[in-house]
Amino acid sequence: MEILLIIIIGLLYAAGIYMMLRRSMVKLIIGLILLGNGANMLIFLLGRIVKGKPPIIESTAKMFTEIYADPIPQALILTAIVISFGLQSFAIILVKRAYKVAKTDDLDELNTTDEIYE
């Protein structure tokens, strides 16, 4: 199971970087989303997947006799999801405004300073 997740994380990172290197701003945002999902899955994988065990340890337990799930990666993933959602929504609004002004989503055309957009 962990090998499958490692492969999926690698594919998400590779696809995200590939999409971010394209000339379109929409593909840039899709690449950003893929990289964010890959990072979330990486944090999830580093927190060790434990099937059927709750993340909370009983207060009466004096020693950790069984494997338990760590709640810190779950909290980090939740925080990362909220932050990436805010970043993605800002990027989408920024791309929409740039497309409205420049009438193109090609990054090479937006980089020129020959024309002044009104």
Query: What's the rounded mean pLDDT across residues 61-88?
Result: 81
Q: Mean pLDDT across the stretch 79-107? A: 88
Q: In the structure encoding, which two tokens stand for residue 19, read together?
A: 């999409």
Give the separation between CA 62 and CA 56, rounded to whole angstroms.
14
pLDDT at 21: 92
Class of domain 2-105: mainly alpha
Q: Are 45 and 60 in contact (CB under 8 A)?
A: no
Average pLDDT over residues 30-35: 93
pLDDT one-digit tens code per residue, 95-112: 898 888 888 888 777 776
User: The dihedral of CA 88, 91, 93, 99: what is its sign?
Assistant: negative
Q: Which residues of 63-100 are buried (b: 16+ CB within 10 A; e: fewer)?
A: eeeeebbeeebeebbeeeeeebeeeeeeeeeebeebee
pLDDT digits 0-9 by tens, 34-73: 999 999 899 888 876 666 666 666 677 776 666 666 678 8
- Spell out the domain ranges in the chain: 2-105
What is the pLDDT at residue 76? 86
**pTM assigned to the model:** 0.74
